[in-house]
Amino acid sequence: MATIEQALEIEQLEKDIFRGKSVETELQRTFGGQVAGQSLVAAVRTVEPQFQVHSLHGYFLRPGNPKAPTVYLVDRIRDGRSFCTRRVTGIQDGKAIFTMSASFHVGDQGIEHQDTMPDVPGPDDIVDQTELTPEQLWLYREWDHWDIRVLPDDRVDHRRGSVAQQQVWFRYREKLPDDPIFHVCTLAYMSDMTLLGSAKVIHPDEPTQTASLDHALWFLRPFRADDWLLYDQTSPSAGFGRALTQGRIYDRSGAMVAAVVQEGLSRTLHES
């Protein structure tokens, strides 16, 4: 399947207007992480290099056609000395499929603290998802450039007492460019993957239609997406056909590098 470089590739059509490439896929609708990642690439290209993205908030408005390109319109909402803000709208066939606001900061000095990384086995002790049976493997074929390792439930650190929790080690298999911005955009792509699965942990046998409704992501510290990252995921609530999910992402040294919140569709499928 497509490499991350291909999945994030966009071309500039004119000032503040970009077009994302469609990629080979077996999915019936555009993967939300690709739209979010391409939107962030478009936003980054309109800010000065001293500004680093620290957060994004996006809404998935319509299913995207994976065989069609997406046009991204960037609005320069604010350009300040310390912060700047961009709003990006992804469009297919004249209709918005995604909208995102991203905030950029020049960085500063201040207080520092973080929660401790969960005490879990390292990735070398967990099965690579590409080694699963064919019945399970289809889900990960789309992302064969990623090494994804889901911890078995009996090895998850449940110290926070969460009802629904999932922990996933992941990394990109090939070495990526050193540009930190590329790794940030890569994480915007990857952070949409597996997160809604945390809501299904305690409902494994209930047929459910799932889709991302929104996505919020905070970039907290530098990282590399081709090094192992732990995605600590919880779903504190689900009801009325929606599930709330949260994620904290740590590097192997224990640094919390990002935080994610997402609400997704979790509609029960009834037999006809």
The 8-class DSSP code of residue 121 comes to: -
Of 176, 156, 127, the closest CA to residue 233 belongs to: 156
What residues does 111 pair with on adjacent strands?
Answer: none
Q: What distance in Å separates the CA atoms of residue 61 and residue 163, rounded to the nearest whole number? A: 29
Q: Which tokens is 235 given?
A: 């779903």
d(CA 27, CA 199): 21
Structure-token pair, residue 150 = 């889901």
240: left (phi over 0), alpha (psi -120 to 50) or beta: left
* Rounded-to-integer distance, Cα 123 and Cα 79, Å: 42
Q: Take residue 266 and report the two structure tokens written for it.
A: 């979790």
Annotated catalytic residues are: 192, 212, 262
Query: What are the Cα distances from residue 192, in Å, to 25, 31, 134, 135, 232?
Result: 16, 8, 23, 22, 13
Considering only CA atoms, give the Rg of the chain: 18
3-state DSSP: the chain helix, strand, coil percent, rounded to 5?
A: 20, 40, 40
